[in-house]
Structure 1
Amino acid sequence: MFGGLTSFTEFKATDWGERMLNTVISQTIRHLFSQSDSIDVHVRCHPSSKLLQGSIDGFKMNGRGLVIRKEFAVEEMYIETDAVVIDFSSVMSGKLSLKQPTQSIATVVLSETGINDSFQAELVKKRLVNLDLPSLIALSGGNPVSFTELKVELLPENHLHILAHADLSSGGLIPLDFTVNVVIEKRRRISFQNPLIHVDELPAAQRENSQALSIALVKILDNMVDLDRFDLDGVKMRLNRLETQDKQLIFSGYAEIEHIPRTSQS
């Protein structure tokens, strides 16, 4: 009888601990985003008594409607970790602390609408407006150049169709229209390659400038998306694959987690 009572008590304790851990992980992850429609967490621990020693087999997280830094929308994010050793006493205080690093696989889904909205973010706009690069100055007669009204259409087989305008200040607006292939480089960069520039519909007087400015914009975009610039504190992310599917851009890869980020990236 006493053995049965002990087992029942341990079961209740671990069941309660698992629910608390689910809640703490959910809250910890939620606080990394400016906004989240839903974040679901499921802890894997067998036997469940290991939880009392802070050892779990891993956890899965699925988040939808996430916003990073108040301006970058993520349609969906899925994370599944390897085995995790936590400081269970930190869970009791509503925090999550790792005793040793762990790894996770991750999938991130961006929508075409979210990608286009990101071009209005200040972090992105400052890299597209009032540019005084020598190659651009030569085309604008000495004035800074701005790339405006960027619009991306996701195409099959990892291609993007991009429309934009180049504002040459005194030289007026030059329409830009091109298609590029997006690939992963060194598991951390999104590279824009093999541009196919469309100028046939433009007036003859604008075609040469549109060609040159399109190539310049491709180079700017090619240097813009580097994961090392977006790593969270204590988290190193790497990409294995990307694909365009319908109106979504899907990334899959992994993250090395040394510790739970101490500061919000929201």
Structure 2
Amino acid sequence: MFGGFTGSKTPTGTDWGEQMLNTVASKTIRHLFTQSESVEVSVRCYPSSKLLQGSIDSLKMSGRGLVIRQQFRTEEMSFETDAISLDFSSVLKGQMNIKQPTQAIAQVVLTEEDINKSFKAELVRKQLENITSPALSELSGGEPISFTDVQVTLQPNNQLRLFAKANLPEQGLVPISMKSTLAVERRRRILFQNSQFEPEDIPESLREISQKLATALDEILNNMVDLDRFNLDGVTLRINRLETHGKKLIFSGYAQIERVPNTP
């Protein structure tokens, strides 16, 4: 999907309308991201005269090093839409307004480094800090607990190893180590399934409390990664499949586009 986007043309060449739409689409898509290393956009419209009636066959985008909401980086992202009914007058104004919803197939690639940096993002940290629950209160004497220093190592077959620390009032920092299998629920939530506590890296005197903390952290993670929290205005993201490949995590899915967002 990533190959062949750059420099593609319709059989009749790229006329002024397509050039204008390519320019507007590139600008619009770039503005969805806080930062980008590269963004390539290609409009398919044949015959090109259909563009004047606001009809295009598809819009393709591929990008690298895209940063969402200032803190979430993707190594690669690509999508290709279905046919689009476009308000061509909006293109003349430097905007993209679609007349009816459309869908796009999409692929997103995260590196292991990207995933670990995301755990330092404010949006994620807020869900891991100052946590209170009946189960955790038994371990902390009623004081809130924070999980810090989360480090993920991707493994084959959609598995990962996770290491973290829990800050307890009396014990101080307690290390946690566990192994999980990644899965998708209802196409929008990332689950940490079949999680197993790994005691080998934990001091023997802390293993019992560390295992209880690992169970609590697993529950928090399973309620945290929901795509609806990251949707762009007018765009709903869904995942059909995910897989680990070396040091990368690859998501394949689709986007339901109600309107084209004009701001990040």
Structure 2 length as normaliser, TM-score? 0.93
Q: Quote the residue 1:224 is aligned against.
A: 224
Q: Quote the residue 1:138 is aligned against.
A: 138
Equivalent-residue separation in structure 2 for 1:81 and 1:100 (angstroms): 13
Whether contact under 8 Å (1:182, 1:192) holds in the other structure is yes
Whether contact under 8 Å (1:176, 1:214) holds in the other structure is yes
Q: Quote the residue 1:202 is aligned against.
A: 202
Equivalent-residue separation in structure 2 for 1:35 and 1:202 (angstroms): 39
Whether contact under 8 Å (1:143, 1:170) holds in the other structure is no
Matched, 1:71 2:76: no
Q: What is the 5 A alignment of 1:40-51?
A: 40-51=40-51
Matched, 1:155 2:171: no
Task: Give CA-to-partner distance per residue, 1:99-132, whole Å, 9 cap, x none.
Answer: 1111100001111101101111110011111112
Matched, 1:239 2:239: yes
Q: Quote the residue 2:38 is aligned against.
A: 38
Matched, 1:24 2:29: no
Shift of 1:231: 1.6
Q: Quote the residue 1:85 is aligned against.
A: 85
Whether contact under 8 Å (2:26, 2:40) holds in the other structure is yes
Q: Quote the residue 1:95 is aligned against.
A: 95
Equivalent-residue separation in structure 2 for 1:201 and 1:37 (angstroms): 38
Q: Quote the residue 1:6 is aligned against.
A: none
Whether contact under 8 Å (1:14, 1:51) holds in the other structure is no
Whether contact under 8 Å (2:31, 2:262) holds in the other structure is no
Give the helix-richer structure, 1 or 2.
1
Q: What is the 5 A alignment of 1:168-183?
A: 168-183=168-183
RMSD: 1.6
Shift of 1:202: 2.9
Stretch of structure 1 that moved more, 191-200 or 11-20: 11-20
Whether contact under 8 Å (2:238, 2:254) holds in the other structure is yes
Helix, strand or coil at the partner of 1:170: coil
Equivalent-residue separation in structure 1 for 2:201 and 2:120 (angstroms): 27
Structure 1 length as normaliser, TM-score? 0.92
Equivalent-residue separation in structure 1 for 2:61 and 2:178 (angstroms): 37
Paired letter, 2:42: H
Equivalent-residue separation in structure 1 for 2:89 and 2:12 (angstroms): 18
Task: Give CA-to-partner distance per residue, 1:180-227, whole Å, 9 cap, x none.
Answer: 001011111101110111113433321110111001111111111111
Structure 2 unaligned blocks of 5 or more: 1-10
Structure 1 unaligned blocks of 5 or more: 1-10
Q: Quote the residue 1:167 is aligned against.
A: 167
Give structure 1 regions of 4+ aligned residues with deviation exceeding 6 angstroms.
Answer: 11-14
Whether contact under 8 Å (1:14, 1:49) holds in the other structure is no
Give percent identity, aligned residues only: 59
Task: Give CA-to-partner distance per residue, 1:76-105, whole Å, 9 cap, x none.
Answer: 110100000111111111100001111100
Whether contact under 8 Å (2:154, 2:161) holds in the other structure is yes
Q: Quote the residue 1:8 is aligned against.
A: none
Task: Give CA-to-partner distance per residue, 1:145-180, whole Å, 9 cap, x none.
Answer: 111110000100000110111110222111111110
Helix, strand or coil at the partner of 2:170: helix
Which entry has the higher C-alpha Rg, 1 or 2? 1
